[in-house]
């Protein structure tokens, strides 16, 4: 019975990880590469676009990045997100401490 319980816990733990969407606004190069269809060069292009243009507002904004079109974005859509809470913290200015 204990083995069955452990198997079920492991199954649900790993299934949660497998369905987690990658956030285009916060993902590292390695995290982006976990998405089917994004290799090292495309991951680097996403990071460069994000650094130059700021956060993505929607997954469809990925089409603005060189190498991504309607079909490729449609295939990846379920694996990607642009979490609004994380987007709010992106490029947040740090105010100096009061003297």
Is the residue at 81 inside a domain?
A: yes
Give the CA angle between residues 95, 97, 98 to the nearest 5°: 115
CATH number at residue 51: 1.10.150.320
Instruction: Check residues 94 and 98 and name the one with the higher pLDDT.
Output: 98
Is the residue at 7 inside a domain?
A: no
List, for residues 54-94, the tens digit of each pLDDT value. 999 999 999 999 999 999 999 999 999 998 665 445 455 44
Q: Using the Cα atoms of residue 87, residue 79, residue 30 and residue 44 in order, give the sign of their dihedral.
A: negative
Q: Using the Cα atoms of residue 81, residue 83, residue 84 and residue 90 in order, give the sign of their dihedral.
A: negative
Q: What range defines the domain where residue 24 resides?
A: 20-88
Tally the domains of the chain: 1
β-sheet bridge partners, residue 16: none
How many helices (H) and strands (E) the chain has is answered by: 5, 2
Is the residue at 70 inside a domain?
A: yes
Instruction: Check residues 96 and 62 and name the one with the higher pLDDT.
Output: 62
List, for residues 5-51, the tens digit of each pLDDT value. 555 565 555 544 455 799 999 999 999 999 999 999 999 999 999 99
């Amino acid at each position: 019975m204990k083995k069955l319980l452990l198997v079920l816990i492991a199954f649900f733990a790993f299934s949660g990880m497998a369905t987690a969407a990658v956030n285009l606004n916060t993902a590292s190069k390695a995290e982006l590469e976990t998405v089917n269809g994004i290799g090292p060069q495309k991951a680097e292009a996403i990071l460069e676009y994000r650094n130059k243009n700021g956060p993505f507002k929607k997954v469809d904004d990925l089409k603005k990045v060189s190498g991504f079109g309607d079909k490729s974005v449609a295939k990846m859509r379920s694996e990607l997100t642009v979490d609004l809470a994380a987007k709010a913290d992106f490029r947040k200015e740090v105010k100096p401490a009061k003297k």
